[in-house]
Amino acid sequence: MEERYNESEALLTVKDLKMHFPFAEGGLFSRKKGAIRAVDGISFSVKKGETLGLVGESGCGKSTAARAIAQLYTPTSGSVRFKGMELAGCSPHTLMQARKDMQMVFQDPYASLNPRMTAGNIIAEPMRILTQRGILSYTKQEIDDRVEVLMEKVGLSRFFRNRYPHEFSGGQRQRIGVARSIAVNPRLIVADEPVSALDLSVQAQILNFLKEIQREFMLSYLFISHDLGVVKHMCDYIYIMYRVRFVEAGTREDIYRNPMHIYTKRLIAAIPEMNVDMRDEYKRRRAEIEEIYKRESERYFSPEGRVYDLKKISDTHYAALKD
């Protein structure tokens, strides 16, 4: 697949990223070694100010890819360049500098917050750590003042700063997580299923809020989700991931108006139909897609079940189809 941007335009460039987890099984004298391929050679780039989506079902490798990009996992191989710096195998100091500009928002807003820390201390933590490492130079008063500003910014009263995570709702906890992620003025936020654990009404609030702070802080997002409906609302460019590889990539218009891979068509067909009068049509469409897959499966997957390499459909659209 061709690069969408040159090096100077891209904030993040990932090339041939692989994440394999070794395992051994069997008895003492007959142990068999192997590796689970969680991510198997993906490449993409994120432009400054862009929201790029990684979409796929649970287990396809998208969250593992996010953690490998953020260097929470050490990649098996491949390149991760952020702001021109190679992160794979870099020094701890270089990685700490990169993390100032690359922050994460996690799926579970309760599990990702330390239950023994107050909201104020959670938000202050990255500022304190980076100041201790000499990367930032906040005073204690500046940190305290910024925590109050950030709490107001994410829609929480500054008087809540001494409350603990269990005293907040799920949506409020996720707002604390977002406040923590923007505390050190990052350039890129890796958002790993940031609304999947929330009620639908709260999801809409958080998504709109993420778009607001993106405009205000000039952020880029790597947005990971299993929900194509959410991604359609958030993302400029979308990669569809299945069986640890990309099966399709394109703009919102490419993906929703002209899906090429059968897996993408399945995902779109799985978006719930809210119009009761259209539900029979919705069922018919899903059945039709399954028939196409049974009839033409070799067009989408090799005889061994492997995903083909991406092929160019148009200047912005790529799909993993047989030659």
Task: Report the DSSP pairing between strands 51-55 and 220-225.
Answer: parallel
On whether both 153 and 298 belong to a single domain, the answer is no
On whether residue 252 sits in a domain, the answer given is no
CB-CB contact of 220 with 263 (8 Å): no
Tokens 């891209």, residue located = 10
On whether both 238 and 126 belong to a single domain, the answer is yes
On whether both 133 and 223 belong to a single domain, the answer is yes
On whether both 46 and 99 belong to a single domain, the answer is yes
Q: Whole-angstrom Cα distance, residue 208 to residue 211?
A: 5
On whether residue 277 sits in a domain, the answer given is yes
Say what the pLDDT of residue 161 is.
96
On whether both 179 and 279 belong to a single domain, the answer is no
Q: Whole-angstrom Cα distance, residue 170 to residue 180?
A: 15
On whether residue 256 sits in a domain, the answer given is no
Q: Greatest CA span in the chain, whole angstroms? A: 66
Residue range(s) defining the domain that contains residue 312: 261-323
Q: Which of 234, 228, 233 is nearest to 248 (CA)?
A: 228
- Which two tokens mark 54? 């990684």
On whether residue 75 sits in a domain, the answer given is yes
CATH of the domain at 125: 3.40.50.300
On whether both 223 and 321 belong to a single domain, the answer is no
Which of 26-30, 126-130, 286-290 is the least confident region? 26-30
What domain count does the chain have?
A: 2
> What confidence tens digit (pLDDT) does each residue in 137-191 have?
999 999 999 999 999 999 999 999 999 999 999 999 999 999 999 999 999 999 9
On whether residue 271 sits in a domain, the answer given is yes
On whether both 46 and 101 belong to a single domain, the answer is yes
On whether both 229 and 293 belong to a single domain, the answer is no
DSSP class of 167: G
> What confidence tens digit (pLDDT) does each residue in 13-66 have?
999 999 999 887 765 565 667 889 999 999 999 999 999 999 999 899 999 999
On whether both 196 and 115 belong to a single domain, the answer is yes
Say what the pLDDT of residue 6 is.
65
